[in-house]
Structure 1
Amino acid sequence: MPRIAAGLLMYRQLNGAVEVLLAHPGGPYFAKKDDGAWTVPKGEPDPGEDDLLTTARREFQEETGVVPTADRYLPLGSITQKGGKVVHAWALEGDCDQGQCHSNLFSMEWPPKSGKLQEFPEMDRAEWFPLAVARVKIKASQVPLLERLEEMVRTA
């Protein structure tokens, strides 16, 4: 059974151009990675959490510090990431100050085999990108989510 995650892709329209808010993973393994490392804010359901949109909204808030308040959430379907995790996503139109975004923390042994636990933000920053730039920044497996959003906005 594949692991499942759910996330939200916030977008805004400025001067006719669509921008999306992507998150950069925190922690030492991603510190020097940029292109191909950014992601839709997402996470796995809590035990007993059956509504994936609820999961997506909770995870968005945990990873950005922004409470998602939208009248409607546009289903973007799902994608399968390189490691086999299935990600279900929705888009919401909104805006926020990327500089005010902040994430929850996780603990891990660092440096490896040191016996020392350190805390790191799950996402160390969030940033708005035009769609063309976002295609380069986002994980390759998540590019179809951007394409689906672009199609929805174009036909709306």
Structure 2
Amino acid sequence: MPVTSAGLLVYRLVVSASGGSSALEVLIAHMGGPFWQRKDAGAWTIPKGEYDPAEESPLQAARREFREELGIDPPDGPVVELGSFAASRKTISVFAIEDTGLDISRPVFGEFELEWPPRSGRTVSFPEVDRVEWMQPAVAAEKLTASQRPVIAALAAALGAHGVS
């Protein structure tokens, strides 16, 4: 059975100090745990996780995973489906939603357990993600895992279709 995952890409338009132009930013998270600790490029992700399609819809799962990984309720409002993307042995359904004033200053990250160090018999808890940041799409595309980079182009295309650039 294929593994299904769903994620939520939150975006915002930041108006320049002069009030003239606006810039698009996306919210992405740095993966937690010892493997990702000293990595940056390719070590970021959209908040996402696995789900059982018999128990919840991809959008329900994306909203739940956002809350579980960041400890923050996702924004309310219209959601844009960006599509499904292949990532190793899973398919990720991704949705976008505009920020309505998220406070990311005090996230409470979900945790997972891992035997660490390997073959030590000792189980340690690590955060699923260890930080979350707003980034311009070009920067985010460099930092996201390779399989998630197309999500940024899909967001740009979707926003362009809705008259947002």
What is the match of residue 22 of structure 1?
28
Candidates 100, 118, 121, aligned match of 1:115:
121
What is the match of residue 50 of structure 1?
56
Q: Find the structure with the greater CA-based Rg.
A: 2
Candidates 144, 149, 156, aligned match of 1:150:
156
Cα distance in structure 1, aligned partners of 2:75 and 2:10: 11
Candidates 21, 38, 44, aligned match of 1:38:
44
1:96: Cα distance to partner?
2.3
Letter in 2 for 1:105: E
What is the match of residue 2 of structure 1?
2
Please report the TM-score for the alignment, with normalisation by the length of structure 1. 0.93
1:46: Cα distance to partner?
4.8
Cα distance in structure 2, aligned partners of 1:17 and 1:75: 21
Asked whether the 8 Å contact 1:102–1:125 carries over to 2, the reply is no
RMSD after superposition: 1.4
Cα distance in structure 2, aligned partners of 1:145 and 1:49: 25
Candidates 102, 109, 114, aligned match of 1:96:
102
Letter in 1 for 2:14: L
Structure 1 runs (4+) deviating above 4 angstroms are none
Cα distance in structure 1, aligned partners of 2:90 and 2:84: 10
1:103: Cα distance to partner?
1.1
1:134: Cα distance to partner?
0.6
Candidates 128, 132, 136, aligned match of 1:126:
132
1:141: Cα distance to partner?
1.3
Fraction of identical pairs, as percent? 45
Q: Which moved more, 1:97-106 or 1:140-149?
A: 97-106
Cα distance in structure 2, aligned partners of 1:101 and 1:9: 16
**Which consecutive unaligned segments of at least 5 residues does structure 2 have?**
16-21
Please report the TM-score for the alignment, with normalisation by the length of structure 2. 0.88
Cα distance in structure 1, aligned partners of 2:111 and 2:52: 16
Letter in 2 for 1:7: G
Q: Which moved more, 1:146-155 or 1:83-92?
A: 146-155
1:48: Cα distance to partner?
4.3
State the secondary structure of the residue aligned to 1:100.
Answer: coil
Asked whether the 8 Å contact 1:49–1:55 carries over to 2, the reply is no
Cα distance in structure 2, aligned partners of 1:41 and 1:135: 15
